Amino acid sequence: MKTGRSIPVLFGVLVMAALTAGSFAASMHTCAVCGMKADEAAPFTAKIEAGKEALYFCDIGDLLIYLKEKKAGRSLARVKDYPSREWIEAAKAYYVTAPQRFTTPMGWSIAAFRERKDAEGYGAPVDFESAMKGLK
């Protein structure tokens, strides 16, 4: 009988949906610059960590604008290494702006890389200070 098997399957689907929704919501934050949602799992998300507190940014460009205006928190800023998606220090990263390759939430088209050689595969890499100066 179909209804006898469909109840456990439906229950399993509902449990999975609830678990997925909870973990998805836990990785979503509000961008400190534009107010958009910043998904912690996304490759272009950035943050400034201060202990247990963190400011999130939906786009690396938003982080750079924030740091340029505030002139503080640079040593605590983190970006995602594009190839590995691991958090790295923003001040030690290499940056590539490539609108044809990177579609980012706010259209900055900036990706961060731990290694210069990895960045070179996507465009002309610049260091942190040059990335800050290059913002318009």
pLDDT of residue 13: 44
Could you tell me which residue, 86 or 135, shows the higher pLDDT?
86
- Mean pLDDT of the 93-108 span: 95
CB count in 10 Å sphere of residue 101: 13
Residue among 121, 117, 38, 120 nearest 80 (CA)? 38
Looking at every residue in the chain, the average pLDDT score rounds to 85
> Binning pLDDT at 50, 70 and 90, where does residue 19 land?
very low
The answer to whether the beta carbons of residues 79 and 46 sit under 8 Å apart is yes
Question: Rounded to whole angstroms, how far apart are CA atoms 23 and 56?
Answer: 17
Nearest by Cα to 114 from 104, 128, 102: 128
pLDDT in tens, 38-79: 999 999 999 999 888 899 999 999 999 999 888 777 889 999
Whole-angstrom distance, CA of residue 19 vs CA of residue 118: 36
The pLDDT value given to residue 72: 74
Give the predicted TM-score (pTM) of the model: 0.78
